Amino acid sequence: MLDNNFNYLLAYDTFNAFLPWTFDALSKSSFYYSLSYIWEDFTLINRNMVGYLSYSTSWAWIAKMFNLDIYFVLQLSSLFISSFIPVIFYKILLISKVRATIAFRFSLILPLVSVLFFYSSQILRDCHIGLFYLIVIYTSLKKFSYYNLFVILVIVLITSLFRIESGLFLSVYLFVYSFMGYKENKSNRFFTSFVISIFIGLGVYFIYGNLSSISNIYLFINDYYISSVQETNGLISKLQTIPFFIGDFLSIFYNAIQPVPFWVKLSSNYDPSRPEVYNFMNFPLLFSSFLNWLFICYLFCYLSFKNIRINVNLFLNQKYLISIFIGLVFLVVQASVIDQRRLIGFYFFFILFLYLFIYLFLIAIKFI
C-alpha cells in the first residue's frame, strides 16, 4: 500500500515525533554516530526516550543497508515486539494452572480481539511498554529469587528508557517483589533482609537525588494529560469533578467502552486530521470494545459481590491480588486519559484476569 506514503497505516504521534526523530538520527554518517547522537547528554530521568530511538534507529539502519522501505521496516519492528506479548500471556496462564490447550487458545484470541491487533502495526512505543509490563508481572508471580529481582530491575530500567513515567510507575514492583521475597524466604531471612535493605536504600537514594527531575515530569504529565482534559467541556472533564474517586471510576468505564458507537472509527468523519482513521486495522477495535465491556462488567462484579471475590480469590494467590490492586491504581492515576493506548501497560493483565474468570466459569458448568 503506497497511498499517501503509508500515512493511513500510521498514527498522529508517528509523524510528529517518532519518525522525524528516527530520521534525524539516521542522517548521521554511521550507526555508531547515530547512537552517539541519541545518547548525547543522557540522563535517566528525562523524557528523551533514548531506548525507543535506539531501537527504531537500529531497524531503520537495517532498512537503509538493504535498501528497504523504512516505513515498512519500522512497522515490522513494532510487530516483532508485539508478537512476544501472546507468548508471555500464555506463560502467565500456564503458571495460573490453566490447561495448556485452553491457555494456547486464549493466547491466540488475545491479538485478534484486542487493541494489540491495531497497535502492532503502529510506529509507537505502546506495545513495547505493554510487553515490558507483562514481563515484570509474569516475573513477580514466580517464586522469589535474586535472579528474578534482577530481571525486574533490568526491565524497569529499559522501560524508563522508552517512557520514563512508565518506568517510574513500574518500579513499584521492585519494592513489592522484595517484600514478597522477605515473606517467602523464611529459611534465610537475615541475609534476604540485608540484601533487600541495601536494594531499597539505593532506590530511595536515587529517588531523593532525582526528586527535582521526577517532580518536573509529574508536573508535565499533570499539565499535558490531566489539567488539559479537565479544562475542556467534554464528558471526561465533567466526570473528573465528581469527588471520592467516583469520577475516576466513571472515567475509566467511559474510556473502556470507547469508541461509541463501535463502528465510528471506520468513518472518515471520526477525526479527519488523524490519518490512522482510514486504517482498516481499526476493524478489530470493534471486537476489542466488546472485550473491554466484558472486563469492566466483570471487574465491577468482582469488586461489588463478596461471593465472586471469594471464589476467584481461592484460585488466585496473593501476588495476583497485589497486581490487581496496582493495576487499579494505574487506571485511577490515568483516569482522565482518553487514549486507550496509554493504559496498555496493565491492559493485557486485566484481559488475562477476565480470561481466568471465564476459565473458572467453564469449569464450574463442566464445559471443559
Least confident of 30-39, 225-234, 255-264: 225-234
- What the block records as the C-alpha cell of 90 is 500464555
Evaluate whether 300 touches 359 at the Cβ level (below 8 Å): no
Name the amino acid, one letter, at 289: S
- pLDDT for the residue 133: 96
Distance CA 22, CA 10 (A): 15
State yes or no: pLDDT of 275 exceeds 70.
no
State yes or no: pLDDT of 33 exceeds 70.
yes
Least confident of 181-195, 218-232, 282-296: 218-232
- pLDDT for the residue 1: 43
State yes or no: pLDDT of 82 exceeds 90.
yes
- pLDDT for the residue 233: 54
pLDDT tens digits for 127-176? 999 999 999 999 999 988 889 989 999 999 999 999 988 998 898 998 88
More confident residue, 348 or 310: 348
Cis ω before 259 (30° cut-off from 0): yes
More confident residue, 332 or 68: 68
Phi, psi of 41 (to 5 degrees): 60, 40
- pLDDT for the residue 231: 53
209-212 LR contacts (CB < 8 Å, sep 24+): 210/44, 210/45
pLDDT tens digits for 210-258? 777 667 766 666 665 555 555 555 666 677 677 666 777 777 777 777 7
Least confident of 70-74, 105-109, 217-221, 324-328: 217-221
Residue 63: C-alpha distances to residues 25, 70, 158 (Å): 14, 5, 24
> Could you tell me the residue ranges of all domains in the chain?
3-79, 80-364
Furthest-apart CA atoms within the chain: distance in Å:
64
